[in-house]
Amino acid sequence: MTVPILKQGPFLIATIQAALTDTDVLRLQEDVMQQVTRHRSRGIVVDVTALDVMDSFVSRSLRGIAMMTRLRGASTVIVGIQPEVAFAMVQLGMSFEDVQTALDLEEGLALLQARREPGDGAG
Amino acid sequence: MTVPILKQGPFLIATIQAALTDTDVLRLQEDVMQQVTRHRSRGIVVDVTALDVMDSFVSRSLRGIAMMTRLRGASTVIVGIQPEVAFAMVQLGMSFEDVQTALDLEEGLALLQARREPGDGAG
Amino acid sequence: MPAEGATVIAIESDSDVVTARQRARELAAELELSSTDQTLLATAISEVARNITTYARRGEVSVSIVEDGRGRRGIRVVATDRGPGIEDIDRAMQDGYTTGGGLGLGLPGARRLVDEFAVDSEPGQGTTVTLVKWSRT
Amino acid sequence: MPAEGATVIAIESDSDVVTARQRARELAAELELSSTDQTLLATAISEVARNITTYARRGEVSVSIVEDGRGRRGIRVVATDRGPGIEDIDRAMQDGYTTGGGLGLGLPGARRLVDEFAVDSEPGQGTTVTLVKWSRT
Ligand SMILES: Nc1ncnc2c1ncn2[C@@H]1O[C@H](COP(=O)(O)OP(=O)(O)O)[C@@H](O)[C@H]1O
Ligand SMILES: Nc1ncnc2c1ncn2[C@@H]1O[C@H](COP(=O)(O)OP(=O)(O)O)[C@@H](O)[C@H]1O
């Protein structure tokens, strides 16, 4: 199950479309890094609306994407975490404290756009 | 393998040119501190484009440079982390959360410049 | 005791982990567990099934419907392997404890996600983790 | 079993650490491991080889090509020393556990970077860490 990654202006959008195996998740990490590098993207939205489970491996890997892309000067926003999934993540002990999240794709893109505005030099 | 450190206006640029041993890395830390002190530099860019591996020792040492220079009122930006290297660092567990990063030298300098602008008191 | 024949999923690869949690979710939906409870159960299964592939290479997950004496029904999941076993179960149940470079949230996290939870393990013999999630109706 | 003679790098100083990871990367490139996989392997080697210089003073890293039964090839790295050994391996595998003022990410981090990972150690006898990274084609 490959995750399609689309370029939209200075940003990338990765839309997960079905349950991912661990192998798929690792591939997604690599693919995102490759595309970020190729397009010199400034921001990435990862849309997880289709995920009905985010276990510790997936959560950790998505946080990993946020960290890796930051090392290349790009921000990652995770969008579309389903309410039951968010509930389960918190019970599990995964808090995503250090990861940017937004309600949906639109809000995620707005967040990235806001980051690009002049006067904000933050990472 | 000594790392050359150039002065550019109020900033310093340290360009790593090949794989570093741990000894080289410790020397780089010292050299940067010496130059920062001598030139009263306000910012340092460390360019790691040439590094094909950033293990826990190098990562920790670069973070160390960022912390030391901060204590002298100067900001450090690490630029040019290669995508595969970013990937490996995150798997390893080194996230550089508290270190400023940018895509390349140009963006790193822009970041330092932005930090110097009045009205931005951030670290 | 299982009230119906158990569904057994062999766990050998990471796609089996996905299969196992999906099967359990289907069964949980049949039992009319809430959508949230289905998700909690599926997440717990993902954790214990991944531990099988990580630490024991292979094993199995069986999913069945159980009843308590008072007419309440639930899903029971038993994850078994003949891998290396767990030396110190108390330690393994600590948040953050991992011998495999993980987050160490699998066992303690799974425990928080279900109603009943038990680990049986003998070093050199293997590990069995049992989870139960009760229907709330 | 090694399919070809192993390259052995003596580890005595920090430049040997660099040599070891570069040799392994060359071999990985010959095997057409992806550039990312080469980097992950080289980083893991850097960690275990540094542990040799830090905790055992000297030792060696051997790098060889291995095959599984099904035609898949990979790189095997064995880092060995006759240093003090590791008292509690489970503990040493914890993120952040260090007796040497390090970050404690070397062993657990290296495990996350490769496909197979094993530590054998006997206090007073020495330590052997084995890593395997498989080609994904
Ligand atoms: N099926 C199993 N076989 C052997 N050891 C296991 C098994 N499941 C868990 N363990 C041990 O318990 C530890 C804690 O497990 P867990 O909380 O799931 O965290 P993680 O999987 O991230 O390490 C593991 O690191 C491992 O040492
Ligand atoms: N080759 C070795 N010989 C003896 N002890 C070792 C060796 N490698 C690792 N250790 C022990 O395991 C601990 C954890 O190692 P590691 O995770 O690599 O972190 P660090 O090297 O930062 O301490 C070390 O602090 C040390 O006590």
Q: What are phi and psi of A78, to 5 degrees?
A: -95, 125
Band (D3; pLDDT cuts 50, 70, 90): very low
Cβ distance of B101 and A70 shorter than 8 Å: yes
Quote the number of domains for chain A: 1
The two tokens of residue D137 are 């084609």
Question: Distance, in angstroms, between A51 CA and closest chain C CA?
Answer: 10
Rounded-to-10 torsion of CA B112, B117, B118, B119: -70
Candidates C15, D63, B1; CA nearest to A1 is C15
Does the residue A99 lie in any domain? yes
List the helix and strand counts (H, then E) for chain B. 4, 5
In this prediction, residue D92 carries a pLDDT of 96
Is 90 exceeded by the pLDDT of residue A122? no
All residues at 6 or more sequence positions from B2 whose CB lies less than 8 Å from its CB, including other chains: B24, B27, B31
Q: Which domain holds residue B91?
A: 5-113
Q: What is the mean pLDDT of chain A?
A: 92
- Rounded to the nearest whole angstrom, what is the distance from the C-alpha of residue C105 to the centroid of ligand 1? 9
> Would you call A123 and B100 a contact, using CB atoms and an 8 Å cutoff?
yes
Residue B100 CB neighbours (<10 A): 24
CA of C124 to the centre of ligand 1 (A): 14
Per-residue pLDDT at A120 exceeds 80:
no
| Confidence at residue D136, expressed as pLDDT on a 0 to 100 scale | 84
d(CA C132, CA C33): 12
In CATH, what number is assigned to the domain containing residue A92?
Answer: 3.30.750.24
Quick check: is A60 in a domain?
yes
pLDDT higher than 60, residue B120: no
Cβ within 8 Å, pair B83-A64? no
Place of tokens 């756009």: A113
Q: Which residues contact C113 (CB under 8 A, 6 or more apart)?
A: A88, A91, A92, C40, C41, C43, C44
Which residue among A40, A121, A123 places its CB closest to the CB of B101?
A123
Asked if D38's CB is within 8 angstroms of B87's CB, the reply is: no
Note whether D38 contacts B84, CB cutoff 8 Å.
yes
- Cβ–Cβ under 8 Å, residues B75 and B42: yes
Cβ neighbours of A115 in B, within 8 Å: none
Cα–Cα distance list, A88 to A16, A25, A55, A64 (Å) = 19, 19, 8, 19
Tell me whether residue B121 is in a domain: no
Does residue A122 belong to any structural domain of this protein?
A: no
> Looking at ligand 2, which residue's alpha carbon is closest to its atom 27?
D99
Residue B95 located in a structural domain: yes
Indicate the pLDDT class of residue A118, thresholds 50, 70 and 90.
Answer: low
Q: What is the pTM of this model?
A: 0.90
DSSP states along D59-94: EEEEEEEEE-TTS-EEEEEEEEE-SS--S-HHHHTS
Mean pLDDT of all residues belonging to chain D:
94
Q: Which residues of chain C have pLDDT under 50?
A: 1-3
Pairing between β-strand B100-102 and β-strand B43-47 as defined by DSSP bridges: unpaired
Residue type for position B35: Q
Q: Determine the Cα–Cα distance for residues A89 and A58; give it in Å rounded to an integer.
A: 10
HSE of A33, CA atoms in CB hemisphere, 13 A: 28
pLDDT tens digits for range B8-25: 999 999 999 999 999 999
Stated as kind and residue range, the H or E segment containing C47 is helix C35-51
Measure Cα distances from D96 to A73, A104, C48, C56, D27 in Å.
27, 35, 24, 25, 31
Q: Is D51 in the pocket of ligand 2 (CB under 6 A)?
A: yes
ipTM: 0.88
pLDDT at res. C3: 46
pLDDT tens, position by position, D8-46: 999 999 999 999 999 999 999 999 999 999 999 999 999
Cα(B63)–Cα(B85) distance, integer angstroms: 16
Provide mean pLDDT across the span A19-24: 95
> Cα–chain-centroid distance for residue B114?
17
Top mutation candidate among C107, C130, C131 for ligand 1, by most atoms within 8 Å of CB: C107
Q: Which of D89, D90, D109 sits opposite C101 (nearest CB)?
A: D109
User: Residue C64: which residues within 8 A CB-CB, separation 6 or more?
Assistant: C2, C3, C4, C5, C6, C7, C75, C76
A41 in a domain, yes or no?
yes
Instruction: Say if CB B16 and CB B81 are below 8 A apart.
Output: no
Residue type, D121: S
Q: Span B46-58, mean pLDDT?
A: 97
Domain presence at residue A96:
yes
Nearest of A117, A29, A43, A32 to residue A75 by alpha carbon: A43
| Preferred mutation among A54, A55, A84 to probe C, highest tally of C CBs within 10 A | A55
Extract the runs of DSSP E, i.e. beta strands, from chain D.
Answer: 7-11, 59-67, 73-81, 116-122, 126-134
Confidence at residue B95, expressed as pLDDT on a 0 to 100 scale: 83
State pLDDT tens for residues B64-113: 999 999 999 999 999 999 999 999 999 999 988 899 999 999 999 999 99
**Ligand 1 centroid to A114 CA: how many Å?**
42
Portion of chain A with pLDDT greater than 70, in percent:
94
| Measured distance CA(D36)–CA(C66) in Å, rounded | 47
Q: Compute CA C85 distance to the chain's CA centroid, rounded to the nearest angstrom.
A: 16
State the best of C88, C90, C99, C105 to mutate against chain D, taking most chain D CBs within 10 Å.
C99
DSSP state of B2: P
Residue pair B5/B31 in contact by the 8 Å Cβ criterion: yes
Q: Is residue B11 part of a domain?
A: yes
* Number of residues in chain B: 123
Q: What is the mean pLDDT of residues D96-121?
A: 94
Tens digit of each residue's pLDDT (9 = 90 or more) over B35-50:
999 999 999 999 999 9
The pLDDT, as a whole number, for residue B54 is: 97
Mutate to test the pocket of ligand 1, among C17, C51, C97, C131 (most ligand atoms within 8 A of CB): C51
pLDDT of residue B118: 57
| Contact criterion met (CB below 8 Å) for A56 and C112 | no
Q: Do C35 and A85 touch (CB under 8 A)?
A: no
